[in-house]
Amino acid sequence: MPMPWRQLPVGVVGLGLIGGSIALDLRRRGLIVHGLVHRETTAQRARERDLVDQVSTDPGVLQGCGLVVLALPLDRLLDPDPALLAAIPPQAVVTDVGSVKQPVLDRWQALHPRFVPSHPMAGTAHAGVEAGLVDLFVGRPWVATPTADTETAALASVQDLAILLGAHWLCCPAAAHDQAVALISHLPVLVSAALLQAADRSAAASGDGLSVLVRSLASSGFADTTRVGGGNPELGTLMARANRTALLQALQGYQHCLAGLEQLVQQGEWSGLQAELSRAQQLRPGFVSPDRSAG
């Protein structure tokens, strides 16, 4: 028997990469989707892309929804519009897709009795109403961070949503989630940005046309290691602000590891360097298996 939320429209607040992709996938599966956006130009483009059945800048579009997905930037999640809060149906299950969970949980568990904090671990370098893709979540982790007070039926509804979209479901405490994503999501953004800056500044300082040459020679390896650093700067800043303590700890650990590699190079300890690189080679499959290499 289908879960109750599937019998009613699904509200998606924000139709960027994640919200738009959720909307596309739900409609492909025959569900009705109502979208709430911030600008009329976004609403018009959402209609043109056929992302939703209904779309509006008026929070009233959420009326009658059985499940509401908050696909909003972290700052708007942490300081929600009072009109949005008033428009969410009291009986609706509410979830978010924010990449930091503890502050969102602390804010929303007091605002709505059926709130379930969650985070689909999927993405691309693109943003905005043009970014939504079908099957974005297939094979990707979708993690929830419930507490002892989270309603069981609401949690089951969000799990059903994740599985319906092809994601791999798991649960963990919010603090553990934030520590984990600091290491495998937020830290790479800053490391990637630093790599781009280092290549640019070092080449410029060397002169002799090196800036042009490094850009001409940059290939797939450089593209892979700098993708997230070249992404949405607003999103990266919001993640750092919301997860500052865990991110600082991750940065300290990274600097320690980088300093160790630097020392091996300075001292010409090539066997030691090869041992460290061999260890990294062995570690990587545990983090990035072939079916989890996107996002």
pLDDT tens digits along 67-113: 999 999 999 999 999 999 999 999 999 999 999 999 999 999 999 99
What does the CA dihedral 146, 150, 155, 156 come to, rounded to 10 degrees? Answer: 130
For the chain, give every domain's residue range.
4-172, 176-292
Model pLDDT for residues 1-52, shown as the tens digit of each residue? 678 999 999 999 999 999 999 999 999 999 999 999 999 999 999 999 999 9
| Residue 290 pLDDT exceeds 60 | no
Reading the block at residue 217, the tokens are: 């020679």
Model pLDDT for residues 111-143, shown as the tens digit of each residue? 999 999 999 999 877 889 999 999 999 999 999
Model pLDDT for residues 256-282, shown as the tens digit of each residue? 999 999 999 999 999 999 999 999 999
What is the CATH superfamily name and number for domain 4-172? NAD(P)-binding Rossmann-like Domain (3.40.50.720)
Q: What's residue 1's pLDDT?
A: 67
Q: What is the DSSP track for 146-200?
A: --TTS-HHHHHHHHHHHHHTT-EEEE--HHHHHHHHIIIIIHHHHHHHHHHHHHH
Share of the chain above pLDDT 70, in %: 97
pTM of the model: 0.90
Q: What's residue 293's pLDDT?
A: 43
The Cα 79–Cα 77 span in angstroms is 6
The CATH architecture one would assign to domain 176-292 is Orthogonal Bundle (1.10)
The Cα 126–Cα 142 span in angstroms is 20
AA letter at 60 = G
* Helix and strand numbers, DSSP H then E, in the chain: 13, 9
